[in-house]
Structure 1
Amino acid sequence: MILLQLEDDIGGALFEGGRKNRLTPLGMLVLEESRRASEAYDRSVKAIRRYATSTAGSVRIASVPSATISLLPPVILRFRRERPDVRLEINDVDSAAVRRRLEFDEADIGIVSAAPDDVGEGTLIERTPLGIVCRSDGPIARATTAGKASWSLLGEEPMIVNPLCSLVKSPIVEHHALTATLESRNTTSLLAFVQAGLGATILPQSAMRATGENLTFIQPTDPVAFRHLLKIRQSTRPNTPVVEAFYEALLHGA
């Protein structure tokens, strides 16, 4: 009876045949829209609960891992001095996942990596040189002391690939990235792998702030490469005052 009433209200059949075991195209659409409505309801409930547990509100930040190491700590420290009661939720994921979290309302603010020629998305908050990160006592470092500073140095050790490698417009880097057998998307993991002697990787110079003395940053000049950090934000609904405040703090803290 309930199914018949629903089909009557919608204006079409939801199932094919009398056994009701296969959805019609309309039924598949209704199922998909119902799932979206349910997910939207769940997100709203979570947002209400977050607000209820923090009297001053909350800010959800999705950021590329390297920014959580180099950019966010001083920004959060300054923000805490002015708004100590605001709840901050930090998730470190790659740029594609940051955009997805914003799209599905799982984050309020995003920090993504971009090439210098990428335009039209977000606001620039940091411009950092990209280079080779390797062990100070490894083959690449020894070759550099001999006066060699080129992306071809990657041929001296196995390359550990990460998404930032695609920002270097060099056929040498592209070749080594295609033939590499180890990949990671997390800055902490990449640095640990390099420290363990598993190879070298490409990271922004700012990522070196979290490393020990046994790692070296080398900036090749053929070509010089940079990584831009952009801040982006949720646009499907109005942001709360605390979200806007943290968004502005990112620009001032860069």
Structure 2
Amino acid sequence: MIKLEMLRVFRTVAEHGSLAGASAALGRTPSAVSMMLAQLEENIGAPLFETDRKNRLTKLGEGVLTEAVRATDVFSSSSETIRRLTNSIAGIVRVAAVPSVTITLLPGAIAAFRSIRPEVRLEISDVDSASVRRRIRLDEADIGIVSAGADDPGEGVTILRDRLGIVHRLNGPIGHALASGAEASWRLLGLEPLIVNPLCRLVDSDWLAGLQEKSNLEARNTTALLSFVRDGLGATVLPESAIAHMSDRLGVAVASDPVAIRELRMIRNPDRRPSPAAQEFWDALAAMGTHAPDVPPPT
């Protein structure tokens, strides 16, 4: 009978090209490794290496190596999944979220969750929406929070809807124009260099689309965007809710030509059953969304 450990030893020898190298990697004596290989070849009924030096595979050995790699990789992946499930008794929840969430919605949700499950470890990463979806798909995160337009196809659970606006310096060209009575319009972005970020694409404006093509500065992290605006590098587009996290040197102008709505949606892998801890944090986020500032959809 071929055992998984035989395939693991064979793979290690094939990858190192010698018994000595494989023995060191496996922490076994060369004789023990050689005996395991002999047992595998006896079960298969043919040699797997051309010579006793174990540095060149036979044609059969090459095929067996392919299967050994596949089998040991699957076992390692399953072992890691079982380890995570075991750890979920105490709890580890991996959350991947767009940057604006990490400074607005998440802190309150984390505080509320800690009050009922202080033993659970939370691992938070802030990445763009595309990366959030990739991490969920590859099981690198238990919960994802993405940005989407209000008219985008339904995806996940909406926990917040807020308006997008122009973030600018109060003493900059846009700030001066507004102070002089100018109406809030996306065209104001023509007064300063545009700092592009993924939220710009949620605004249905040909004017803004043209500015994006000409822009030579792009950032994805909310903290970086606010710093760039504060330092006079230009203006950008962010949710109105970001006002609470700005300095008194910055302002936000909510344009209505058109009104642009950003939705925050929670997503998770439908093919994987969430751990108890992940489900509880999902529920905590949903509850936070229920009480979060909301705006009606554009009419």
1:40 aligns with 2:40: no
RMSD after superposition: 3.1
Structure 2 residues not aligned, in runs of 5+: 1-9, 15-39, 45-55, 58-62, 290-299
Q: Secondary structure at the match of 2:94?
A: strand
Looking at secondary structure, tell me which structure has more strand per residue: 1
Cα distance in structure 2, aligned partners of 1:33 and 1:191: 47
* 1:224-235 matched pairs, under 5 angstroms: 224-235=259-270
Cα deviation, residue 41, structure 1: 4.6
2:238 corresponds to which of 203, 211, 218: 203
Residue type of the alignment partner of 1:179: K
Aligned residues of 1:55 and 1:85 also touching (Cα < 8 A): no
Deviations 1:159-216 (A, max 9, x none): 0000000000100110011100000011110001001100000000112222110000
1:165/1:41 Cα in 2 relative to 1: closer, same or farther (>3 Å)? same
Contact map agreement 2:85 2:275 (CA 8 A) in 1: no
Query: How far apart, in 1, do the equivalents of 2:197 and 2:132 lie?
Result: 16
Q: Kindly tell me: are residues 31 and 206 of structure 1, through their superposed partners in 2, closer, same or farther at Cα, counting changes over 3 Å?
A: farther
Aligned-partner Cα distance in 1 for 2:70–2:244: 46
Shift of 1:48: 5.8
Amino acid corresponding to residue 224 of structure 2 in structure 1? S
In structure 2, the residue matched to 1:136 is: 170
Q: Given the superposition, is the C-alpha separation of residues 130 and 185 from structure 1 closer, same or farther in structure 2, using an over 3 Å criterion?
A: same
CA contact under 8 A between 2:159 and 2:266: conserved in structure 1? yes
Higher relative contact order (CA 8 A, sep 6+): 1
How many percent identity over aligned positions? 47
Q: Secondary structure at the match of 1:132?
A: strand
Alpha-carbon distance, 1:38 to partner:
7.0
Counterpart position of 1:86: 120
Could you state the TM-score of these two structures normalised by the residue count of structure 2?
0.71
Q: What is the SS of the residue equivalent to 1:160?
A: coil
From 125, 134, 152, the equivalent of 1:100 is: 134
How many residues are paired up? 240
What per-residue deviation string (whole Å, max 9, x for no partner) do you get for residues 56-100 of structure 1? 211111000001111111111111111111111100000000011
With the length of structure 1 as denominator, give the TM-score of the two structures: 0.83
Larger radius of gyration: 2
| Secondary structure class of the residue paired with 1:159 | coil
Quick one: distance in 2 between partners of 1:234 and 1:240? Answer: 12
Report what 2:98 is aligned to: 64
